[in-house]
Amino acid sequence: MLNIISGASAIATLFLFILYFIGRLISMVQSMKIIYESIYICYGDEDYHNVIEKSSGIAVDCSLPNNGGDVRVIFIPSQPVFDFGIYNIEYDDETLSTYKISNKNLIEDSFFNNSVLSPGMAVVIEVGSLPDLYASYALKYKRFDLMKCSYNIVSDMFGLSSQLIQTKYSIQGIINNFVK
């Protein structure tokens, strides 16, 4: 009789342990869909001033090399952001369908190296002109929940581009979610 009770409790414990991990996996997949950042594309000074008023008033400017226009991309996080950087995108010459993001950060400013962007702080990136089809720059950063995010800067003709942010968990983020 005692063996039956101990066997049933072992099976129940194993079942609950498996349910815990299934629940954690479901919550991780659901949290990948939540975007805590806003990315605006401004084509003139009027748009720029309207967007900056939405932020906390703190704006950090950075410009990319060889910009010839007046297009600005404004990145405003609502949660802390780490390892913020802008990188070149290099395409395959034959197909143009495969690309590689370079490892060299285009931002030379020491403010962005190993710093945390506070919530509401606007990062204004002067990109010049935006390509319509193929992106030439990528924003990469790590969120507070240790999720790696990237955004390929390309024109979407609407001015708000937060829905184009790609997210994936880092190894640290996966371990953190299972342990907490």
| Residue 16: inside a domain | no
Whole-angstrom CA distances from 2 to 6, 8, 9, 10, 15 are 6, 10, 11, 12, 20
Distance CA 6, CA 118 (A): 52
Residue 78 lies in a domain: yes
Amino acid code (one letter) for 111? F
Which range has highest mean pLDDT (14-23, 48-57, 103-112)? 14-23
- Which pLDDT band, with edges at 50, 70 and 90, does 15 fall under? very high
CB atoms within 10 A of CB 106: 16
Does a structural domain hold residue 30?
no
- Which residues have C-beta within 8 Å of that of residue 131, sequence separation ≥ 6? 154, 155
Residue 122 pLDDT > 70:
yes
- pLDDT the model gives residue 164: 74
Domain hosting 149: range is 36-170
Classify residue 176: in a domain, yes or no. no
Instruction: Name the residue among 41, 27, 28 with its Cα closest to residue 162.
Output: 41
pLDDT reading at 19 higher than 90: yes
* CA distances to 42, 86, 115 from 101, in Å: 24, 10, 22
The answer to whether position 45 is within a domain reads yes
Judge whether 128 and 84 are in contact, CB under 8 Å.
Answer: no
- Does residue 28 fall inside a structural domain? no
Q: Does 175 map to a domain?
A: no
Q: What is the DSSP letter of 163?
A: G
Distance CA 125, CA 74 (A): 6
pLDDT of residue 126: 78
| Total domain count, the chain | 1
The model's pLDDT over 79-109, given as tens digits with 9 standing for 90+, comes to: 888 888 888 887 777 776 667 777 777 776 6
Domain annotation covers residue 62: yes
* Residue 175 DSSP SS3: helix
Going by the DSSP 8-state scheme, the letter that residue 5 receives in this structure is H
